[in-house]
A = this chain, B = another copy of it.
Amino acid sequence: MPDSAGLTVGIAGASGYVGGELIRILAGHEQVGRIMAFSDNWQGQSVAAAHPKLVAIGASLEFIPFAPSQLAGCDVVFFATPAGIAARHAADLLARERIVIDCGADFRLRDAKQWQQVYGIEHPCPQLLASAAYGIPELFPAAVAKANLIGAAGCYATCIQLAAAPVVKMLAEQGSSEIRIVAAGLSGTSGAGRRTDRHDLLLAEAGNNACAYAINGHRHAPEIIQGIDNYADRVVQLAFVPHLLPLPRGLLATVHIIADGKFVPPETAATALAQAYADEPCISVLPAGSAPQLASVLHTDRAVLAASATGEVAAIVGALDNLGKGAAGQAVQCLNLRLGFNPISGLAA
């Protein structure tokens, strides 16, 4: 599709945290010729004004106002926008044979009614949900490779599914009936987005602090259950509690699995992980018993996983950067897979 000068790529929501990472990654992507960074609030300003880390490329790229006509001029459009925005523009772009990759939540769930329950508004284009690929390339490569509409998975959803899905699949194949998952998530505050309506995300309050949140249920839970069902053909019961860390970015998930009332043992988990990701360039499975840390994944597009080595109970731990493999990096990984590029073009894997 792109000519020799490279792809023209649009980023809706380019002033947000995920948008900034998309700019950074795509600016170094060998197949990208032009970036259009959309933001009404920052229009006319250098991208470095919104994203201090882009100081070196800031001089040559300015935000432009969001306009559907401009979107249509892009080969690929990434949406890094609140719920409902991508869904209002996807049908038109798909009709023009553009590729749409949504880093937001609009195309993750398959069921429009469930989507409305979770996000509180009616889905703008329910007819597209069935055709969207769920964007975790390691788990759903065939779908991602051919879809023009990709709903990149949420950050927690990515980490928990990468940790749990291969194990659940192995258990299901071994005949386990009831499977329950307990997942503890830990994430930096950028996961909440660049929003200034919540004082609890201010450094003065979230710094030197930590808390559990969403203890009545997190909105990534339906997406995780759906994804594991699609991958492993088993509907699990999920207990997931996220925790807010005093960190800008980074995400950990620790997962325990109970199959037919018993904890899954370490060997099962370690074997399932090793087999599932042996050849994946964006995933490192550490030796069993190792403990993944954020230092290995911050500012990368890589996930690191490990299961416990001894004892009667398998803990499975995953780490990724919520803005990298958990968002912008994974979205570009989907792009690479969809267009047959080098799988890690532009990425730090």
Residues of A within 8 A of B (CB): 17, 48, 52-53, 55-56, 178, 180, 182, 184, 186, 188-190, 192, 194, 196-199, 201-217, 237, 239, 241, 243, 245-250, 252, 254, 256, 258, 260-261, 263, 266, 284, 286, 289-296, 298-300, 302, 304, 306-313, 315, 317, 319, 349
Min distance, Cβ A237 to any Cβ of chain B, angstroms: 7
Residues A212 and B254 in contact in the complex (CB < 8 Å), given A201-B204, A206-B203, A207-B248: yes
B291 lies within 8 A of A215 (CB): yes
Residues A310 and B53 in contact in the complex (CB < 8 Å), given A17-B204, A201-B203, A209-B294: no
Min distance, Cβ A292 to any Cβ of chain B, angstroms: 7
Tell me, in angstroms, the Cα distance from A53 to B307 when the chains sit together: 19
Which chain B residues lie closer than 8 Å to A212 at the CB level? 252, 254, 291-292, 315, 317
Tell me, in angstroms, the Cα distance from A245 to B187 when the chains sit together: 11
B252 lies within 8 A of A215 (CB): no
B304 lies within 8 A of A213 (CB): no
Which chain B residues lie closer than 8 Å to A298 at the CB level? 53, 208-209
Cross-interface CB contact of A260 among B56, B210, B261, cutoff 8 Å: B261
Question: Among A250, A286, A296, A309, which residue has the most Cβ atoms of chain B within 10 A?
Answer: A296
Question: Among A180, A194, A247, A295, which residue has the most Cβ atoms of chain B within 10 A?
Answer: A295
Residues A256 and B202 in contact in the complex (CB < 8 Å), given A208-B247, A293-B209, A299-B299: no
- Known contacts A184-B254, A203-B247; can you find 8 more A-B pairs with CB under 8 A? A55-B284, A182-B182, A189-B202, A189-B207, A194-B202, A203-B203, A208-B298, A237-B312
Residues A261 and B263 in contact in the complex (CB < 8 Å), given A202-B202, A295-B53: no
Which chain B residues lie closer than 8 Å to A216 at the CB level? 266, 289, 308-311
Tell me, in angstroms, the Cα distance from A254 to B212 when the chains sit together: 8
Min distance, Cβ A246 to any Cβ of chain B, angstroms: 6
Min distance, Cβ A268 to any Cβ of chain B, angstroms: 14
Which chain B residues lie closer than 8 Å to A210 at the CB level? 186, 245, 247, 250, 252, 293-294
Min distance, Cβ A319 to any Cβ of chain B, angstroms: 7
Tell me, in angstroms, the Cα distance from A298 to B307 when the chains sit together: 32
B194 lies within 8 A of A196 (CB): no
Which chain B residues lie closer than 8 Å to A56 at the CB level? 284, 300, 302, 349
